Amino acid sequence: GSIPDFSGLPSLTELSLQNNQLSGIIPDFSGLISLTKLNMFNNLLVGQVPDYANFPRGTFETLNLRNNRLCGTLPSDNPVSPGFPDISVNTFLNPSPAWCG
């Protein structure tokens, strides 16, 4: 299935959509200004990781996109604290940014 539209929920702080066989591209989450944790691992998401401008800034703590079908290049900036973004088990082109490990 596709990812539902959460744009009408600006007070949403945590969004856990893992293990749901969600497909399609990652939508723009920048309107979810209170979002601190986003878990979308173990799905069927495709395309590139969107520019991190599409994610909320500030207190963003967790971004887990592990084990999807994401590809392409990675944005050079990191929206979350070091060690928190998990984008492993996807197909990315080199060079990976330094924050990626």
Phi and psi for 100 in degrees, rounded to 5? Answer: -75, -20
Q: How confident is the model at residue 99 (pLDDT cuts 50, 70, 90)?
A: very low
Q: Identify which of 43, 83, 34 has the alpha carbon closest to the alpha carbon of residue 63.
A: 83
Kindly list the structural domains of the chain, giving each domain's residue range(s) and its CATH number in brackets, ordered by start.
1-101 (3.80.10.10)
Specify the residue for token string 């944005």.
75
> pLDDT per residue over 14-71, tens digit each?
999 999 999 999 988 888 888 888 999 999 998 887 766 567 666 678 888 899 988 8
User: Can you tell me the mean pLDDT for 93-97?
Assistant: 53
